[in-house]
Amino acid sequence: MSVTFSPNGKMLASGGSDYKVRLWDTSTGLCTNTIKAHTGWVRAISFSPDGKMLASGGDDEIIKLWDTNTGECVRIFEEHKGWVGSVSWSPDGKIVASCSNDKTVKLWDIKIGICIFTLQGHTNWVKAVVFSNDGKIVASGGNDKTVKIWDVSTGQFLKNLQHTYEVRALAFSSDTQILASSGSNETINIWDIETGKCLKSLRDRPYERMNITGVKGLTEAEISTLKALGAVEDGEM
């Protein structure tokens, strides 16, 4: 299931395996609209910046835009050749980005209803796409273990950030200088967008901060393994 809040927090949208999109009133907890949105699993949903529209995508290879007040479909985009895994709105609400297991990212002009760029470069399924908060770049990531940065105005590839595992989700910092990416190895990488360097990796290791000083019976190899999993000895706290 996918879920997302509206920008003002008063509405929640959900989509799932029943092919439907539901809109919920967060103050009452009531479902205000059930939309027969797709003919396959709904994998991705995202509110427009003003909350007046909702984008959805799924296993039927289609992106649809919905009027959140009436529940009516106002746009349909059909150029992907595989399921749609993620959708993201530009900050000005003029463009929607989508990604798919067809290995592409597409940028759609909402006003005229066409694909303005097809971003090609991934070599496997693309599972995450997100706009920067200044709207100038878009990041994508997926099963080829890379995060790719693209110029929104030209559609040009700008930078590659190499993961060691498949990429599942992406998020920009508010100033667009930092990108967080999560992988299938349960690790979050923090990237400097300008340099392309990984600043740090975050992982909740099973023995994080456990003090093993004085524990008897451990071999040097076992101590090394425990430390790799987060354990520490006196002087390392």
Interval 1-53: pLDDT, tens = 899 999 999 999 999 999 999 999 999 999 999 999 999 999 999 999 999 99
Using H for helix, E for strand and C for coil, what is the string for 5-55? ECCCCCEEEEECCCCCEEEEECCCCCEEEEECCCCCCEEEEEECCCCCEEE
Residues 149-155 have a mean pLDDT of 98
Interval 185-224: pLDDT, tens = 878 999 999 999 999 888 776 666 678 787 877 788 888 8
Q: pTM, whole model, 2 decimals?
A: 0.85
What are the structural domains, with CATH classification, of the chain? 2-203 (2.130.10.10), 204-237 (no CATH)
Interval 80-90: pLDDT, tens = 999 999 999 99
